[in-house]
Amino acid sequence: MLSLLFLPLILKLLILTQASAVESDFPIVGIFTMEWDDFGYNTTKNYTSYIAASYVKHLESGGFRTIVIKYDIPYEEIDYLMSRVNAIMLLGGRANLVKRKKGKYQFTEYANKALYVVNKAIEMNDKGVYYPVFGTCLGFEAMFVAAAGENVLERFDSEMYRSIMYFTEKAPTSRFLRGANPALLYDLSYEPIAFENHAFGVSYEKYLNNPRLTDFFDPLAISKDRAGKINIAIAEGKKYPFYAMMVHPEKPPYEYYFPEINHDIRAIQLGHYFVRIFASEAKKNSNKFDTDFEFLKNSARSYDLYFTHYPFEQTYFIL
C-alpha cells in the first residue's frame, strides 16, 4: 500500500528525469543575422538586421534550438555567444561581402564579422572544442573567403535556378553525404531538383588553383550555371566540421513566393537529411548557457516575427 501511495511521485520524478535528458540533447545553434533590409515594408522601428524564418523552421525541424547572433554587435559579445552554442549557421542573403571604395575593393562590415566567426570557430576547433559551422549561399561564400584569406568569388548566372548536382569521388565517403539515400543522390544527379539563388560563387577552376582552398575543403558536388560555368555546390572541411552549400535546403518546405523554388518531396527530403547531419554534428559540442533565462533572452523566438510573403514568407526583424 505504501509503495502505491508513492507511485505518483515516483512516476513524476521519472518523467522529469526523462524530460531533462531529452532537453539536454537539443543542440543550440547560433544564427548569424543578415544586415538590415526592410524589403520595401518601411517599418517604423529601428531594426538593424533580420533572419528569414525559414532558416529557423529548418533548423528546428532537426531538433535545434536557435539563438540570434547579431552581425553588428562587438566582437567580445560574439565570442561570448559562440562559447554558449553548439554550432553556427551562416545564412544566405543578398548582403555584399565586398564593396568598392576609392577605387579599391574592401570587405564590408558584415563580411568582416562573418569572417571573424569562421576564424573563431577554426580557433576553437584547434583548441579541442568540436565546433561545427554550416553555411548556405552567402554563408558558403564567407566560409570560402575565410579559408582562402582573400576574395575568391566570381560571377555566376544561378539566380532563381534549379540545378543538377554532379557528385565528386569524395562524396560517397564524406561525413556529410555518406549516409544519404542513394536513390535521392541518383535523382539529384539527373534532375534539376536542388534550388540555387546566387550571383557569385567559387569556380571549380579557382578552387583547384588555390592551395589554401584545396587544403581546407573537399568539394562533394559541383553544379553548372545557365551558361555552363562550373561552381562548387557542396563542400565539407577536411580538418574541421565545416559544411558549405550553394543549395538552399530551407526553402522547399517553407518559401512560396518564387515559382522557381522546388517543392518536390525529394527537395524537401534533401533538406531534412542535411539538418539531421548538422544536428548530429552539433551534439558533439558540449557548450551551454548557464541559465534558461540567458538562452531565452537570446532566442530567435524572442524577436518580432512578421508575415512578409516577399521575399520570405515570414521574417524575424531584429532590433
Residue 31: name the closest of 255, 303, 308 by CA.
303
- Other C-beta atoms closer than 10 Å to the C-beta of 8 total 9
pLDDT of 245 reads 97
Reading the block at residue 220, the C-alpha cell is 562533394
pLDDT of 11 reads 40
Q: Is residue 287 part of a domain?
A: yes
Contact status, residue 142 vs residue 113, Cβ threshold 8 Å: no
Q: Is residue 254 part of a domain?
A: yes
CA 211/CA 119 separation, integer angstroms? 18
CA 132/CA 308 separation, integer angstroms? 31
Q: Is residue 8 part of a domain?
A: no
Q: Is residue 265 part of a domain?
A: yes
Its domain, for residue 77, covers 28-318
pLDDT of 96 reads 82
CA 303/CA 316 separation, integer angstroms? 6
Beta-strand ranges (E) seen in 172-310 are 194-201, 217-224, 230-237, 242-245, 304-307
Contact status, residue 282 vs residue 87, Cβ threshold 8 Å: yes
Q: Which position has the grid cell 550555371?
A: 225
Q: Which residues have CB under 8 Å from 250's CB, separation 6+?
A: 52, 54, 55, 57, 58, 136, 271
Domain count, the chain: 1
Q: Is residue 136 part of a domain?
A: yes
CA 66/CA 279 separation, integer angstroms? 12
H-only helix segments in 149-232: 182-190, 204-208, 211-216
Say whether 287 sits in a helix, a strand or coil: coil
Q: Is residue 125 part of a domain?
A: yes
CA 66/CA 289 separation, integer angstroms? 12
pLDDT of 22 reads 34
CA 254/CA 261 separation, integer angstroms? 10
CA 268/CA 247 separation, integer angstroms? 12
Taking the CA atoms of 283, 239, 32 and 62 in sequence, report the sign of the dihedral they define.
negative
Reading the block at residue 79, the C-alpha cell is 565570442
**Entry pTM:** 0.89
Q: Is residue 6 part of a domain?
A: no
Catalytic residues: 137, 248
**Where residue 153 sits, what CATH number does that domain have?**
3.40.50.880
Weakly modelled stretches of the chain, pLDDT under 70 = 1-24, 42, 44
Q: Is residue 96 part of a domain?
A: yes
- Using CA atoms in the order 180, 274, 289, 315, what is the torsion angle rounded to 10 degrees? -160
H-only helix segments in 53-137: 53-60, 75-82, 109-126
Give residue-wise pLDDT tens across range 34-83.
Answer: 988 777 776 767 898 999 999 999 999 999 999 999 999 999 999 999 99
Q: What phi and psi values does residue 23 have, to the nearest 5 degrees? A: -60, -40
